[in-house]
Amino acid sequence: MNKRVLLILTEFPPSIGGMQTHAILLSRHLHAMGYEVDVFTYRSADNPDDVQRVDKSFPFPIHRPLSRVGYFYNLETLLDFIAKNKPDLIYSSTVFYGILEKLTGIKTICRSVGNDIMRPWIAYPFKTGSQVASNAWLERKLYDFFKNIDKPEMVEIIFREQRLLLTIKAAKASSKILANSEFTRRILLDVGVPAKNIEVVVGGVDAGYFKRPAFQNVRDLRQELGLPPDRKILMTACRLVDKKGVDFLITSLAASNPAVSNYHLVIVGKGHRMSRLRKLAYSMGVDEYVSFVGAVPYEQMPPFYWASDVFVLASTVFRDPVTGLADAETMGRVLCEANAAGTPIVATESGGIPSVITHEHNGLLFPENDVASFLSSLKRVFDDAELRHDLSRNGVKRARSQFDWSHILWTHERVFAMDDILTAPMQAAAAPHP
């Protein structure tokens, strides 16, 4: 009889992103290896026809009863399924459901990206009223409100202490947590998760998809993308939120005197700071040297990396001055993509970034908010052809050997096997991507 695995994947298609890609690959991989897979995820706000089409494309059931609001409602829903179906292993894409191990006695492995501890996403953390709060219509209204307000941090402080207590309790109950960086590992240690229960797993990129073509006219590619063909292109890709440091990049661009340095900043992404950043570029007199590209679908991203001279990421550990809530770059998947594309990287030594970028090996690191160090690092990359070549070559090697999805899946297999539950098939698993 096949072993049964319950996958609690809080982000799942039709929506797209890194977590959704991880969810697709892990669930399909386990099924292909012969396991009986059940996926539980949140209700979807996408078009019902799109949801149905996606669900039918998987050869195993996709259950969508979970609420983004009612935590205890979700626990009861999951416990009911577990009692009836008795899975051999539970896997959760956040630490919130690590508590299921204590409640059921079934080994539960969780993934953590750090922010699930720093900014707990459990919306309503009480048993009383959880079912009412999980009403589909009410949930949709609350979620839309939260996503569209200018200061979501003001909502996050509501019930924060109780949400944090629940999150920490759940994290401590899990057998194993796969942390996305050393930064996240330290966060978990700080809240009392035993060191033996944490393993760092960095990355998550289709290295082959981002592989730079052997022969490519960069000038023509830039013209196709609407980018200036003859300038030194600095690209960043991120949500336009405070922790990403895009304001720092614009300020640094101005300090470089782009008319002389020939730098041009390309910003890929959207977010509620877009208007403010446009105004900043205009006020500093560099708006003609900044391209706000907006959101770009994942499948259209590789050419932007290939067309750029340097990929830059200026993330900071940002603490909201009103709420005191901290936010950080706990890994930086775009860094994995830039490495896979062979684009030299200059990034801040902040949060989980050093788990991806080793200074002087597959990128250059500089201190947060240090304009002089940032501009000095850029100058080194542009002035030293051997350094550019080494950063590019080492980045591609690391993306293939450590960040590629094949390696991430292999690591999951090994961790599952360590718990002696899914051992037999896992021992036959393929080695990581060379």
Structural domain boundaries in the chain: 4-204+404-427, 218-402
Identify the pLDDT of residue 429.
Answer: 40
By CB atoms closer than 10 A (0-12, 13-18, 19+), residue 347 is buried
Q: Any bridge partners for residue 346, and if so which?
A: 312, 364
Comparing CA positions, the residue from 405, 407, 426, 412 lying closest to residue 3 is: 426
Contact call for residues 346 and 392 (beta carbons, < 8 A): no
Domain 4-204+404-427 and domain 218-402, same fold? Reply is yes
**Where does 211-273 have alpha helices with state H?**
218-225, 246-255, 258-261
Q: Any bridge partners for residue 236, and if so which?
A: 267
Side-chain-facing half-sphere of 150: CA atoms under 13 Å:
4
Number of CB atoms found within 10 A of residue 194's CB: 10
Cα distance between residue 352 and residue 113, in whole Å: 10
Per-residue pLDDT of the chain (434 residues; tens, 9 = 90+): 689 999 999 999 988 778 888 899 999 999 998 899 999 999 987 788 999 999 999 999 999 999 999 999 999 999 999 999 999 999 999 999 999 999 999 999 999 999 999 988 888 899 999 999 898 888 888 777 766 666 666 667 788 899 999 999 999 999 999 999 999 999 999 999 999 999 999 999 999 999 999 888 999 999 999 999 999 999 999 999 999 999 999 999 999 999 999 999 999 999 889 999 999 999 999 999 999 999 998 889 999 999 999 999 999 999 888 777 889 999 999 999 999 999 999 999 999 999 999 999 999 999 999 999 999 999 999 999 999 999 999 999 999 999 999 999 999 988 988 755 555 444 434 333 33
Q: How many degrees, rounded to 5, is the angle at CA 365 between CA 182 and CA 271?
A: 80
218-402: CATH class: alpha beta
CATH topology for 4-204+404-427 is Rossmann fold (3.40.50)
Identify the pLDDT of residue 322.
Answer: 77
Identify the pLDDT of residue 148.
Answer: 67
